[in-house]
């Protein structure tokens, strides 16, 4: 796991901050946890601590709810996403591979990087 993903997975936000960031009530946020849709960590004093990924997850849940999904329905959505990820893993076509291929395409097909800019002919002003 790289630094960026590591930071996003760090549980450092108390529920009060999560409330402000998601516009969800404490009641809802805690309830979704009992429904096993989010899994916040716990601090020493038993306080729930959320990560940025948890924030994204809560916002997603919010959207699914607006689309008419119920708790178990949303749970199934994430179950499928997990199965999907496992399938891709077995096929060795991971997200990292996709990004690697895309970057190669961009570098060859023409041009938006500083390397190329420095090689362009100078123009007088």
Partner DNA sequence: ATTCTAACA
Partner DNA sequence: TGTTAGCA
> For DNA, which stretch binds (CB under 7 A), given 18-26, 51-59, 91-99, 114-122?
18-26
Contact call for residue 30 and DNA (CB under 7 A): yes
For 120, the token pair is 């362009």
- Regarding 31 and contact with DNA (CB under 7 A), the answer is yes
Residues in 50-69 that interact with DNA by CB under 7 A: 65
- If the CB atoms of residues 77 and 88 are measured against DNA, the closer one turns out to be 77
**Beta carbon of residue 112, minimum distance to DNA (angstroms, whole number):** 43
Instruction: Answer yes or no whether residue 28 interacts with DNA by CB under 7 A.
Output: yes
- The sign of the CA dihedral 104, 108, 110, 116 is positive
Asked if 50 and 18 touch (Cβ cutoff 8 Å), the reply is yes
Q: Which residues of 45-60 are buried (b: 16+ CB within 10 A; e: fewer)?
A: eeebbbbeebbebbee
């Amino acid at each position: 796991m790289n630094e960026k993903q590591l930071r996003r997975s760090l549980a450092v936000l108390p529920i009060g901050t999560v409330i402000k960031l998601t516009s969800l009530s404490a009641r809802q946020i805690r309830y979704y946890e009992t429904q096993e849709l989010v899994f916040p960590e716990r601090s020493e004093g038993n306080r729930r601590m959320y990560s940025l990924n948890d924030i994204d997850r809560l916002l997603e849940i919010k959207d699914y709810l607006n689309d008419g999904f119920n708790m178990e329905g949303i749970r199934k959505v994430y179950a499928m996403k997990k199965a999907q990820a496992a399938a891709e893993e077995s096929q060795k076509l991971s997200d990292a591979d996709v990004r690697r291929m895309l970057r190669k395409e961009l570098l060859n097909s023409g041009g938006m990087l500083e390397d190329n800019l420095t090689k362009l002919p100078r123009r007088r002003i």
